[in-house]
Amino acid sequence: CTRLGEPDYLDALLDVLPREAYTLHIPVYGGDAATHDGVVGKGGAFAQVIAGLDALAGMDLLDRVLLLTVITVDNLAELPAMRRLFAEYGCPVQVFLPFPTTLDPADPFYQVAASHSEMVGPMTTCDPPLGVWELLPCVRWRHERDTGEPALSRGGFNAVIANMGNL
């Protein structure tokens, strides 16, 4: 979605989409350029995504946007900043965890995946909390039991589901 801020590209895209029913799934991997660009490996990507979101806001199309993120060890500490950014746009957010693509122990998954226990605290303390449907209920329960902080009852889920085949 780095090209959504280009007016000609955005106009061409909107021209081919169905008028009534479409959702733009826009990935955001950090609350700032350093984090997002570091995760995607492309300098300037964050600024381009923000330009696209701003263009869609200017066209009153944010109701057609679903923001996506994947939590990794590289952006885990940035969850509160990402949550604030998401709140600025008011779009639903779908949170995912990385998954291995091979059974090889050298799969990059093993370098970027955070444990569920590492994620539950930062996710639930975001304001408003981030929800992730893949976070194990037993981890949420243990966090709630051990800290007294709600983890099962906070961090809602969105009715708009990303198409898993496109991720």
105 prior amide bond cis, ω within 30: no
**pLDDT tens-place values along the chain, 167 residues long:** 889 999 999 999 999 998 888 899 999 999 999 999 999 999 999 999 999 999 999 999 999 999 999 999 999 998 889 999 999 999 988 888 888 888 898 998 888 999 989 988 888 778 777 777 677 888 888 998 999 887 766 555 555 555 555 44
Looking up tokens 């060890």 gives 73
42: amino acid identity, one letter: K
User: For the whole model, what pTM was predicted?
Assistant: 0.83
DSSP state for residue 26 in the 8-state scheme? E
Spatial strand order in the sheet of 93-96: 24-27, 65-70, 93-96
Looking up tokens 């444990």 gives 115
Within its chain, how far is the Cα of 122 from the centroid?
14
pLDDT at 153: 62
Q: In terms of C-beta density within 10 A (0-12 exposed, 13-18 middle, 19 or more buried), how is residue 121 classed?
A: middle
pLDDT at 51: 97
Residue 115: φ, ψ to 5° = -75, 155
